[in-house]
């Protein structure tokens, strides 16, 4: 057998031996026990546990190993044998730990006991669970409900998340921001506006039937690697893939299936993208308008020649509104303006448009490359326009496919983690729990951070995540966050957010999804919803990392019991003993989505909660799909000027958000460091710079808050001119909090106006 640790480093195709080597590296670093491999075998299978990495769907016909490189890394990272015990704090102060990297903080291992911060020693110290809950409740009772914020990162299962939303509302606030406020909020708001669905319309059978994918700003190779299998299958049956991305991402270029032995032995790769268009960051509105122009012109020609129409005129007439105005607009915008705004040529867009026209069934896929811009919602509306031209939504093999982030990020929203009252069935909550739910909309992430800066937010509870590191304006956050009366972090591992404790500060360690969750009513199951709106049960069977850990649900219930007066309709203790009862409550609150919840928990491939737009039911104001006439050609929120660059913040293949597994971004050939500035070679020459120069980035805004990040090694990189790249989360000191999508307030992390300068020079 090949020893995978001996394989050479490579930056070849996605998957392949490189992916096994990537897994082996984490396995070596966070080796748990031989049982770790057994655990991986149970990943994403009915009766097993659902991967805690991304939200990509799990097929009903699963592979023997239904996981990818990054899913395996996420699991092994949780299964580490290292422990960050209370004794750790004997040797380290909070001030000292601020000098540690994200990687080193999480490498201390799993947190084992509840902790409270002690300002006198600048350390955390062990505390009993009941004392922690009582202390938290005490502070919360002393401030206004709306001064507290209940944040959730998309990890926690549906049961814990539902109770978390209930806890916040019973306490009197709708301040329930979520990690999706930083990623697919643009989808929740922007997609909802045009097709009446706040999530994607495709399901697994669409992937199996499509003959064409258009990829805009989503990187499956790193962020949803299991997607590479249906993509490969699509290529094998002759489907076409066209990609728009400023960066040449390996996973969209070629793939070797690590689950197919003969492909692995022969190294046979599948070429993924038939066309790869490296547009400028923020250039999608113009690029898609160009594609639409090509389709419209082809339809004109077909009509003139008496051939079948290219536009799906019946669909347009029956299902859409606003198409005529859009078509007139598309005709009127001259090609040179489009070329200038996206950096692609008319000829390139004509080639891509031709593929779209020739395909019967097209899926439009998108990710952060569309959502994280000042006009991200318009990006999405434009992609929908393109799909609507040929009726590519709501039929087999076609649709709109936003690829979600965290494993249960979509599901948390489904069960009530949302700040907008209009999204919540308040009447049902009122009836079920006998209380008057708060009527005022709560704060999303941007509003909560602004509230923090203004001193209006006094307590932050975090169900997972590493908010301080994930949000914009990290420098200002680090000043404002510790001024709060209370910070509570429900976490599995130590991270930077723990190092800025509020006046009262608690770290509450929880079980991970692979671990057995034993309660008075026996071992418990949790559930998650994937990107295709499929609900899956998840069973952990590993021995917990410490016998002091509590489940996320038990922690939420513990806080609730300490904070809220007893009430016969609020059986926190009984719910903690038996999660099936919580699922019954979810079903009672959302009967259409969760009919038969407990019975359907382990259906292979999950059970579908149903999305109206999938069946061409448009829950918009007009009852139709909305075609949007764009009022601009760029999604940037600033002018392009000499010396100003658009900073695109990137994920490497070796991280999950702020969790940094290692320093090998092998698909991009960047090894050993994350402190880099990637820049087009001609831009480097024009600016009088040279490879290896130590650089700083300075945000190009004048709002009285200087923002700078230095110590970056300059690397020539295949990026369009004017676009520079560097890693997330390190770059978050540079992103102003008010730099966000105009409609949804999703931070515009993919286009930050910056200047470059030599560091120290």
Ligand X SMILES: Nc1nc2c(c(=O)[nH]1)N[C@H]1C(S)=C(S)[C@@H](COP(=O)(O)OP(=O)(O)OC[C@H]3O[C@@H](n4cnc5c(=O)[nH]c(N)nc54)[C@H](O)[C@@H]3O)O[C@H]1N2
Residues that bind Mo ion (CB under 5 A): 183, 405
- Give yes or no for residue 634 binding ligand X (CB under 6 A): no
Placement of tokens 């040449």 in the chain: 248
Q: Is 186 in the site for ligand X (CB under 6 A)?
A: no
Distance CA 168, CA 158 (A): 15
The correct pick among 30, 70, 175, 628 for binding ligand X (CB under 6 A) is: 70
Nearest approach in angstroms of CB 604 to ligand X is 23
> What residue 659 binds from Mo ion, ligand X, none (CB within 5 to 8 A, per partner kind)?
ligand X
**Which range binds ligand X by CB under 6 A, 51-59, 572-580, 601-609, 708-716?**
51-59
User: Per CB under 6 A, does 728 bind ligand X?
Assistant: yes
Determine contact, residues 217/245, Cβ cutoff 8 Å: yes
Q: In angstroms, give the least distance from the CB of 533 to ligand X.
A: 17
Phi, psi of 213 (to 5 degrees): -115, 135
Toward ligand X, which CB reaches closer, 320 or 379?
379
Q: Does 405 bind ligand X (CB under 6 A)?
A: yes
User: 166 vs 286, which CB is nearer to ligand X?
Assistant: 286
Cis (ω within 30 of 0) for the bond into 531?
no
Among 30, 107, 112, 492, binds ligand X (CB under 6 A): 492
Member of 273, 414, 484, 512 binding ligand X (CB under 6 A): 512
Q: What is the CA radius of gyration of the chain?
A: 25
How near is the Cβ of 303 to Mo ion at its closest, in Å? 44
Q: What is the contact mask toward ligand X in residues 76 to 115, using x (rule: CB under 6 A)?
A: ------------------------------x---------
Residue 657 token pair: 């958000």
Q: Is residue 247 close enough to count as binding ligand X by CB under 6 A?
A: yes
Site residue total, ligand X (CB under 6 A): 63
406 lies in the binding site for ligand X (CB under 6 A): yes
Residues numbered 306-345 forming contacts with ligand X, rule: CB under 6 A: none
CA–CA separation, 711 vs 708, rounded Å? 10
Q: Are the beta carbons of 711 and 727 closer than 8 angstroms?
A: no
List Cβ neighbours of 241 (8 Å cut-off, separation of 6 or more). 212, 213, 215, 231, 234, 235, 252, 272, 273, 274
Interface positions, 571-600, toward ligand X (CB under 6 A): none
Angle between helices 284-304 and 335-342 in degrees, nearest 10: 150
Angle between helices 284-304 and 323-332 (to 10 degrees): 100
* Residue 62 burial (C-beta neighbours within 10 Å; 0-12, 13-18, 19+): middle
Residue 410 interacts with which of ligand X, Mo ion, none, CB < 5 to 8 Å by class: none
Site for ligand X in 197-236 (CB under 6 A): 216-219, 222-224
Q: Does 552 bind ligand X (CB under 6 A)?
A: yes
Termini Cα distance of the chain? 53
Q: Which residues contact 720 (CB under 8 A, 6 or more apart)?
A: 246, 278, 279, 280, 281, 343, 680
User: Going by C-beta distance under 8 Å and a sequence separation of 6 or more, which residues neighbour residue 723?
Assistant: 246, 280, 281, 645, 646, 648, 680
Structure tokens, 548: 């002091």
Interaction partner, residue 54 (Mo ion, ligand X, none; CB < 5-8 Å by kind): ligand X
Q: Is 179 in the site for ligand X (CB under 6 A)?
A: yes
Nearest distance from C-beta of residue 113 to ligand X, angstroms: 15
Site residues (CB under 6 A) for ligand X? Answer: 52-54, 70, 106, 153, 155-156, 179, 182-183, 216-219, 222-224, 244-247, 249, 281-282, 284, 367-369, 372, 403, 405-406, 463-467, 470, 490-493, 495, 510, 512-513, 552, 648-649, 651, 655-659, 728-729, 731-732, 735, 749-750
């Amino acid at each position: 057998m090949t020893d995978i640790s001996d394989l050479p480093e490579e930056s070849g195709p996605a998957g392949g031996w490189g992916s096994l080597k990537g897994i082996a590296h984490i396995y070596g670093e966070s080796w748990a026990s031989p049982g770790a491999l057994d655990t991986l075998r149970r990943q994403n299978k009915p009766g097993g546990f659902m991967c805690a990495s991304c939200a990509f769907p799990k097929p009903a016909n699963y592979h023997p190993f239904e996981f990818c490189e990054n899913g395996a890394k996420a699991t092994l990272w949780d299964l580490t044998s290292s422990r960050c015990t209370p004794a750790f704090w004997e040797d380290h102060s909070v001030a000292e730990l601020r000098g540690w990297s994200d990687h080193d903080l999480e490498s201390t291992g799993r947190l084992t006991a509840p902790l409270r911060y002690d300002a006198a020693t600048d350390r955390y110290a062990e505390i009993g669970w009941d004392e922690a809950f009582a202390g938290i409740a005490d502070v919360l009772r002393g401030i206004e409900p709306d001064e507290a914020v209940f944040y959730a990162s998309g990890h926690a299962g549906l049961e814990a998340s539902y109770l978390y939303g209930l806890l916040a509302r019973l306490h009197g606030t709708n301040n329930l921001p979520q990690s999706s406020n930083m990623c697919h909020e643009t989808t929740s708001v922007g997609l909802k506006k045009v097709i009446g669905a706040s999530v994607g319309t495709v399901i697994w059978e669409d992937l199996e039937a499509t003959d064409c994918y258009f990829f805009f700003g989503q990187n499956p190779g790193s962020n949803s690697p299991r997607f590479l299998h249906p993509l490969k299958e699509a290529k094998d049956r002759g489907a076409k893939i066209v990609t728009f991305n400023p960066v040449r991402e390996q996973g969209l270029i070629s793939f070797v299936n690590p689950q197919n032995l003969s492909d692995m032995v022969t190294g046979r790769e599948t070429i993924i993208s038939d066309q790869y268009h490296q547009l400028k960051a923020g250039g999608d509105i113009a690029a898609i308008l160009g594609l639409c122009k090509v389709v419209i012109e082809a339809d004109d020609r077909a009509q003139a020649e008496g051939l079948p129409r290219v536009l799906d005129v019946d669909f347009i007439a029956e299902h859409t509104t606003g198409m005529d105005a859009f078509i007139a607009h598309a005709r009127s915008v001259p090609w040179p303006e489009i070329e200038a705004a996206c950096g692609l040529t008319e000829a390139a867009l004509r080639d891509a448009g031709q593929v779209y026209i020739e395909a019967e069934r097209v899926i439009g896929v998108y990710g952060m490359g569309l959502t994280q811009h000042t006009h991200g919602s318009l990006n999405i509306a434009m992609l929908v326009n393109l799909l609507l031209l040929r009726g590519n939504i709501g039929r087999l093999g076609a649709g709109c496919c936003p690829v979600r982030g965290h494993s249960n990020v979509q599901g948390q929203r489904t069960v009530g983690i949302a700040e907008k009252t209009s999204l919540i069935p308040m009447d049902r909550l009122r009836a079920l729990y006998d209380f008057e739910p708060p009527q005022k909309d709560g704060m999303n992430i941007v509003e909560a951070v602004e509230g923090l800066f203004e001193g209006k937010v006094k307590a932050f509870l975090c169900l997972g995540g590493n908010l301080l590191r994930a949000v914009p304006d990290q420098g200002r956050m680090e000043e404002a966050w510790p001024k709060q009366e209370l910070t509570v972090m429900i976490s599995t591992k130590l991270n930077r957010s723990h190092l800025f404790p509020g006046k009262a500060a608690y770290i509450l360690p929880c079980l991970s999804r692979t671990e057995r969750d034993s309660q008075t009513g026996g071992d418990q199951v949790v559930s998650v919803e994937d990107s295709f709106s499929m609900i899956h049960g998840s069973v952990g069977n590993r021995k917990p990392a410490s016998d002091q850990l509590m489940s996320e649900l038990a922690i939420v219930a513990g806080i609730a019991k300490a904070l809220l007066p007893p009430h016969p309709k609020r059986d926190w203790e009984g719910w903690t003993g038996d999660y099936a009862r919580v699922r019954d409550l979810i079903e009672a609150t959302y009967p259409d989505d969760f009919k038969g919840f407990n019975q359907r928990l382990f259906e292979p491939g999950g059970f579908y909660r149903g999305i109206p737009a999938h069946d061409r039911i448009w829950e918009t104001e007009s009852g139709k799909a909305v075609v949007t006439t764009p009022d601009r050609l760029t999604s940037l929120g600033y002018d392009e000027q000499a010396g100003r660059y658009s900073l695109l913040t990137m994920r490497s293949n070796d991280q999950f958000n702020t969790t940094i597994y290692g320093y090998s971004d092998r698909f991009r050939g960047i090894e050993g460091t994350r402190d880099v500035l990637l820049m087009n070679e001609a831009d480097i020459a024009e600016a009088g710079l040279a490879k290896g120069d130590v650089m700083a980035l300075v945000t190009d805004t004048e709002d009285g808050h200087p923002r700078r990040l230095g110590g970056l090694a300059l690397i020539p990189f295949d990026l369009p001119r004017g676009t520079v790249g560097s890693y997330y989360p390190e770059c978050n000191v540079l992103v102003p909090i008010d730099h966000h999508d105009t409609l949804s307030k999703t931070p515009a992390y993919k286009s930050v106006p910056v200047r470059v300068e030599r560091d120290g020079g």
